[in-house]
Structure 1
């Protein structure tokens, strides 16, 4: 009887763990073009990848590892910007994930104070990656890991690389696996999304 109980408990625990690993985070896909802002600029000569990270999210180690693989494949053909959520009343500049991102070639890093840019771009979950064409159209929105905190072959990573190298859009959305950056975006942020490149 005790053995049966332990087997059941182990089975339940495993199911809960697997459910957690495969549970996607919240997302917002209202904006389909690069939003007008004064903080980060669209590179009109290359594809643009913007990755939002919460520096205290353990799941995002996998996202940054997958980003390193993307950069290795795409190199200078991709303009990549990693934005770290940073509360205005705390200093999170020197964390292991910031150092991990700094080690990736051809990646720009910036603080996203109070998550203003995450809100503007609609990134609610750490690891949310958005790929834009050189004319500011969003061609991919989602995660670049196969599950929460896991590395490996995945549709998000492959979609970004394929677009950058071949100009072809495979999958335009994937689930995002990570910790929350923000709750639902405010109505003001949603209504203010647009483009500073004249895209409608």
Structure 2
């Protein structure tokens, strides 16, 4: 129990630290950030349930006003902007990524990459596109076109998440809770 709480808090902090990497603002108003790598790692390392809880803790701190999102953003106002779909999708993305790693009994690297792609790209962009469509008053197709610039970087982050998870599993197998 205590170990779970520590891991959840540690990964919420990891997402916050990845927000210190400078963001790249796009015309859609949704920035490219390193924080989606943290979301992927929450799932691939902690597993579905703990990964989603770490992200929910992070989002709770953001909602409470802490400037933890990339660019020093925080507070309830961020949930009324074009990135709201991505924020809502964060915990679901971590859950799906973790579920893939937990259930798919192939090598940890392959399972982590598949989980990061499915959760951290597919699921996150489904929510993000819907959020942009609503908040920007665009059709789903128009909003999807705004999400295209994210895909290459997200594939790179998926590879990083898989590599980090695989390296962690080799160095300290007990620390990859998604496989314990």
| Between structures 1 and 2, the one with greater helix share | 2
Which structure would you say has the larger RCO, counting Cα contacts within 8 Å and 6 or more residues apart?
A: 1
More strand by share: 1
Q: TM-score, normalised by structure 1?
A: 0.25
TM-score using structure 2 length: 0.27
Larger Rg: 1
